[in-house]
Each structure stands twice: as structure tokens, then as C-alpha cells.
Structure 1
């Protein structure tokens, strides 16, 4: 009984956050920080990196679709599998020096990161019945981005190459994953499967606010489209405009900004409701995306990193618990479909950005396009009379 009580306190919350630290922060976004170094080492070309990024986005979508029927009962083995597979993918990149091997690896890593997002959310929010811990769960993504970026920066000090840095990332990810796996597996042994379901009043209120699930899914897809252009190209934009060692630390600021934002946007959501909170979040995020268009300076790029980093996981923190409430109104895994919609947005975003760049020779049009997508999503969230 003592271990059961512990699992209702900090270990479960921390383990859930680690699922996203490893599965998303390391497995998905560490590539953004190492991409410029891999190009410099001629392991990747710019085109090869684009293929790798596209494979990752496609893998994320495929993983989300594969999880569409995942039951709460199977959340633990799915989460454990995603952790171990992500560590293996990171380690393999430490011995991979061909473009197509990297592309294949990034595609599989995208699958694992989607499984981590869906299974981690199911386990904590439904299996463990801890929806109030959503901010800590989703803060794991930002903490993973920050930690992996600073490890990359630390590895650059003695002049490590990208292969050695990938191995170091895998080693740190393994240590984190072992703790999370121990807590996850103990939850199967010590706790009965909770019968925690959304309160009818909360589910009905959220359903009424969004006129059913599909508007929320559409908003979430647009949010994925809007943030991913900054998340994909920010280090490239900075290195192209400013040079020097600034890009990796600005990318770290992107991740660091996401950590407290999950708690902030959770409080705003509790105070103002889902629609108002999402509208404010997406409006501010759009402005952050647009900042580098308004001014090309270190402070503009840093401001963009902090604003977008400080809002994109806030979107998740607001939207995913709302999706959990709406799950009683649908006959599919709402969290998986939300993740899939986000994945579709993340595929469309870079494709549109590349097309605009080919036409204009600048990323300015791509950033304007992304900001408009976020503002359209914000308009869709506008509160109706008597609804929040």
C-alpha cells in the first residue's frame, strides 16, 4: 500500500514527464540542434536534412494513427516500448553516417515520439487519473529540448563530433528512461486499473463550447502547422543571419520557455476556460512566429524562441485535457486523433514553407503563412455568447 500511495504523488508525475523528455525532447527535437553540425560534417546535405525532417513528421503521423485504437489498459507497455525504442534510435545515430540511414532512423523516431505522446497522456491522465498533473507532463517536452540542446552545446566545447554527441544523448536518455520504466511497470503491479472518467459536467461543457470534437481537432491541426515552421527552421534562420554560436542556445531558450508555460497556461485555462485560453495562446504564438519578419536581430530571434516556446506546449496543455473530456462523445481514441491532426499540420507546414521559399528566396513569407494559420485557429476558438 505504501508504494501505491507513492505512485499517487511525485513519481508518477515525474515518470510521465520523462516519457516526453525522452520521446519528444530527445527523440524528436535533438535533431534540430544537431542538424547544422551534421551538415558541416557532410553526414547530411541540406536536402538530406529536409528528407530526414519530413520522414520524422510522417512517422509522427503514422504513429498517432497506429495509436488510434490504443486502450487505456495498454498504455503502460506502449509507453515503455516508446522509451526503449527512442533510446535505441538515438544510439544508432551515433554509428550512422549515411543520409538514407539517418532518414530511416528519423522516420522511426517520429513513430516512437507519437507513441510516447499518446501513451504518456493516456497513462497519466486516464490510467492514473491525474488530469491536474497535465502541466508537468507536457513540460517534459520543453525540458527535453532544453536539456538536449545544452548537452549538444556541452559536447561542442571539447570538439566532439555529432556521432559522439548522439551517443552521449542516448546514454542520458537511457538513465532517464530506466527510472520512468520502473515507475510505469510498478503501476501495473500495485494499482488496480482506475475507473477514472471525465466528469459528465466537464465533458458536456467542453463539448458544448466546441460544438463537438471536430472543431477542437481542426484548431489543434492548425496549431501544429503554425508552430512547426519556427521549430524546424529557427536555428537555420539564426545561423544564416547572425552566425557564431548563438543558434543552439537560442534553441535551448525555445525549450526552456516551454517548461513554465505549461503551468501558466493551465492556470489561465482554469480561470478563463478552454476557448478563451486557446484563443489568447494562439494569438500570442502567432506574434512570436512573426517577430523575425518584423526585425532581424538577436533579440528578435530570442523573443521569437521564448514566445513560441512559451506557447506551443501551452496549446497542448489546454487542448489535450479538453480532448480527454470529449472522449466520452466519440467512439475513437480522441488523444490519438488529436495527435494525428497535429502531425498533419506539421507535415503541411514545412511543405508550404519550402514552396514559399522556392518562390521568394526568403523565409519571411513562410513565417507570415504560419502566423496566419495560428491566428485563424485563434478565430475559430473565439468564445460564443454564453460559452467558454
Structure 2
């Protein structure tokens, strides 16, 4: 077993390394911030500044996502994956050791870039290295790492917080990330330098049909739908009467629900069509977004976390898979456009969220606006289906 886990070409080792890298690059460098937010709000952060930090983090991720599209050479991908892992650790250590606001802003931007290198470039390495004829199911297992990332970073944070501070939690998270990164970096590399010719395809604007443009708009709305709960969910639950202290349980449920989600949604897409699966997932997400605005029931609000966790990871997989199918031999431009649209939604959402929270004094208006924007995404998709039906 140990021999298998240390074999760079073992599928088991590759998948384990991929999941561990996501725990570092997405769990520690991104989602641990959501987990620790209620404690940092009590002590150091204001909600407005939190929105700015979240927006900067997503701007860093967006720049990294677009940058990663143009990394063609596999050996360069290995290099940037390693850079992403190192940045994820260093930026976490900064949060543990200083409360300088400028350093935090810079740190969140760089952490966002690092997360993109780990998730996007790291996933490309996993896909290249896996030795399966059909890699779809295996990549579903790989992306379950996002659910593990939330759950593991949450469990570490809460364990430290029993006797320590949020700064202690950041310190432990950075040490944990440092230790597991050795394994991920060792496995997700190659025994020798690979020479892989890059096939160049001509750029065709004809891919941007009305159907594809509507899909891009829908993915923008999902970028908005992802952010609000992804940034504030523990604090949203804690702000409800009688639910103080339950926010982090809700966040743990997000991670647990997210673990099998991409596998299940990809199966639904295979059986019933990608657009139909996306519409269902977005409808469930809207229900999850609205629950805290209408109810203070603990079970329903924990269900809100489960609905969020079980949809947002699946939706990324569904949209990216559909984009890949539509793009054919030239996925770069379409993937880049979809990622940019999603990223713009991510950058903008925290800013309108904190503006509405400051004005109204609670999260309700933010949740209504977010749910409405995701609903617009469903309308875009229904219109896209109608266009396809008319064409066929």
C-alpha cells in the first residue's frame, strides 16, 4: 500500500495528491477564511472590509484562471502548480502573523492567484497523469476534493478555536498545508521532462452563437450565486435569532454535501442532459439562498448549507464540461470567456452584498438580490433551450 501511494504513476496516489492539493489551495487558502470569518468579525474585521477582501481574493483567482488558460507546456504547468502551492501556504501564514490591512489585501489577491494555479493547473496535471481510458469518473473523484477542502479546513479551524484564537488557527492551517504539500508536489510531477507538442487550432468567433452567449450569461449569474454563501454563510446563520453559534456546523455540512456532488451531477447530466441538470441545480441553489431570509429553523438553515454545498461544486463541473463539449478542438477561448464571466460575478457580488448589509442591517436584501440574479440565470438557460429547439 505504501509503495502504491509513493508511486508517481499510481492512479490512487495521483487522485490522493490531487485532493490534498485542493485542500491546500482551495481549503486553506480560500475557504478557511469563510470558516474563521465569524471569529475575525468579533475581533478585528469589519463586514465592509471583509467584502473588499473577498472581492480582491476573487479578482486574484480570476487573473490566475485566465493566465492558466495560456500555459500550454506541461512542464511549465508543473512549475506554476508548485508556485500556487507555495503561495497558498505563505499567504495563509501572513494572516496568522499580522493584522496590517494592506498586507491582508495583498495576501488575499495573491492567495486567489495561488488557488487558481492549484485548482485549474493542478487539475490539468491530474488529468494528464491518470491512466484511465475514460477519465470522467476519476475527475469527479478529484473534484470531490473541494468538498473535502471545506470540511477539513473547517474541522482544523474549530479544533484550534476550542483553546486558541483565529490567528492560532491560521498558523496551524499553514503548518498543515506545508506538511501535506510535499506529497502533492512529489506525486504531481514527472520522472523526466516531457516533450509534448502543442497543437494550435485557429480561433473561430463562430463558436459564440446566441446559445453559447446565453450559457455564458447564465454562468455569470452562478458566479454571483456562489459567492454570497461562500463568503458569509456561517455569519448568515449566526445572525439569525436562536441560531448563534450554529454557523460553523452549517459550513461543515456545506463541505460534507459537496464531496459527492460533482459525481452525482455529472451522472444526472449524462442521463437527462447538461442544461436540464444545470437548471435543476440552480433552482435548488435558489431555495438554499432564500431559506435564511424566511426561516430561523435550525434544520432548514442546515439544509440551506447542504443545498449550497451540493450545488455549487456540481455547477462548476457541469458548466465546464458543457463548455468543453461545445468548444470541440478549441476549448481555450470558450473556457476563458466562461471563466471570466463567472469571475466577474464573483468579484462584484461581495461588494453589493456588504453595501446592502450596511444599509439594511441584515442579510435578507442581499439574499433576495442574489436569488433573483441566479433566477435570471435559469431564464437565460430556458431561452437557450428554446433557441436550440428552434434550430433543430
Same fold (TM over 0.5): yes
Select which of 183, 186, 190 maps to 1:182.
Answer: 186
Q: Which residue of 1 aligns with 2:173?
A: 169
> In the alignment, is residue 71 of structure 1 matched against residue 72 of structure 2?
yes
Aligned partners of 2:237 and 2:301 also within 8 Å: yes
Kindly tell me the number of residue pairs found equivalent between the two proteins.
Answer: 374
Aligned partners of 2:47 and 2:354 also within 8 Å: no
Aligned partners of 2:243 and 2:298 also within 8 Å: no
Q: CA deviation at 1:253?
A: 1.0
TM-score, length-normalised on structure 2?
0.85
Q: Which residue of 1 aligns with 2:57?
A: 56
Q: Distance in 2 between matches of 1:346 and 1:304?
A: 20
Q: Which moved more, 1:109-118 or 1:27-36?
A: 109-118
Change (3 A) 1:170 1:103: same
Aligned partners of 2:51 and 2:354 also within 8 Å: no
Aligned partners of 2:48 and 2:354 also within 8 Å: no
Q: Distance in 2 between matches of 1:182 and 1:321?
A: 28
Q: Please give the residue correspondences for 1:147-226 in structure 2 after superposition, counting only pairs within 5 Å.
A: 147-158=152-163, 160-186=164-190, 189=192, 193=196, 213-226=212-225
Q: Please give the residue correspondences for 1:81-92 in structure 2 after superposition, counting only pairs within 5 Å.
A: 81-92=83-94
Q: CA deviation at 1:313?
A: 0.2
Q: Distance in 2 between matches of 1:333 and 1:239?
A: 42
> In the alignment, is residue 39 of structure 1 matched against residue 41 of structure 2?
yes
Q: Distance in 1 between matches of 2:107 and 2:179?
A: 21
Q: Which residue of 2 aligns with 1:140?
A: 145
Q: Which moved more, 1:133-142 or 1:305-314?
A: 133-142
TM-score, length-normalised on structure 1?
0.86
Q: Which residue of 1 aligns with 2:361?
A: 361
Q: Distance in 2 between matches of 1:281 and 1:75?
A: 32
Q: Which moved more, 1:65-74 or 1:232-241?
A: 65-74
Q: Which residue of 2 aligns with 1:123?
A: 125
Q: Which residue of 1 aligns with 2:305?
A: 305
Aligned partners of 1:266 and 1:317 also within 8 Å: yes
Q: Distance in 2 between matches of 1:270 and 1:331?
A: 20
Q: Which residue of 2 aligns with 1:347?
A: 347
Change (3 A) 1:387 1:262: farther
> In the alignment, is residue 318 of structure 1 matched against residue 318 of structure 2?
yes
Aligned partners of 2:8 and 2:187 also within 8 Å: no
Structure 2 residue runs without a partner (length 5+) = 201-206
Q: Distance in 1 between matches of 2:390 and 2:13?
A: 40
Q: CA deviation at 1:193?
A: 4.7
Q: Distance in 1 between matches of 2:33 and 2:251?
A: 11
Q: CA deviation at 1:154?
A: 0.5
Change (3 A) 1:313 1:93: same
Aligned partners of 1:3 and 1:190 also within 8 Å: no
Q: Distance in 1 between matches of 2:10 and 2:195?
A: 13
Q: 1:258-300: per-residue Cα shift (whole Å, max 9, x none)?
A: 1111211121112112111111111111111111122122222
Aligned partners of 2:216 and 2:341 also within 8 Å: yes
RMSD: 3.0
Q: Distance in 2 between matches of 1:28 and 1:265?
A: 24
Structure 1 residue runs without a partner (length 5+) = 198-206
Aligned partners of 1:69 and 1:333 also within 8 Å: no
Q: CA deviation at 1:127?
A: 6.4
Q: CA deviation at 1:72?
A: 5.2
